[in-house]
């Protein structure tokens, strides 16, 4: 499924503060909602990438991973 190929996961590091956890939760919500809306065709790919950038995702690292995922899946 497309959402699995393009999803972005934000990992929780050990021993983080409550404030950092709250920030990570907000970032995860942004990426999850953007993924869902892009997969449904509600936002463009550029808008999707903009949302990921807002959530602190390094697009230069993200795009090669997504490209590899899509190639493995036959896209």
Asked whether 66 and 2 are in contact (CB, 8 A), the reply is no
pLDDT by 10s per residue, the chain, length 75:
555 656 566 666 778 788 988 888 899 899 999 999 998 999 999 999 999 999 999 999 988 988 888 788 787
pLDDT value of position 33:
93
pLDDT for position 6: 60
Cα–Cα distance between 56 and 58 in angstroms, integer? Answer: 6
Return the ∠ at Cα 52 (arms to 45 and 33), rounded to 5°: 80
What pLDDT was estimated at residue 40? 92
> Domain coordinates of the chain in residue numbers?
17-72
pLDDT at 21: 85
Place of tokens 């490209």: 67
17 phi/psi in degrees, rounded to 5: -80, 165
Residues 6 or more apart whose CB falls under 8 angstroms from that of 5 comprise 66, 69, 70, 73, 75
């Amino acid at each position: 499924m497309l959402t699995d190929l393009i999803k972005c996961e934000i990992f929780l590091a050990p021993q983080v503060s409550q404030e950092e956890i709250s920030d990570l939760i907000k970032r995860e919500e942004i990426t999850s909602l953007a993924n869902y809306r892009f997969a449904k065709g509600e936002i463009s790919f550029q808008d999707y990438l903009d949302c990921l950038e807002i959530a602190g995702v390094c697009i230069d690292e993200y795009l090669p991973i997504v490209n590899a995922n899509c190639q493995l899946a036959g896209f």
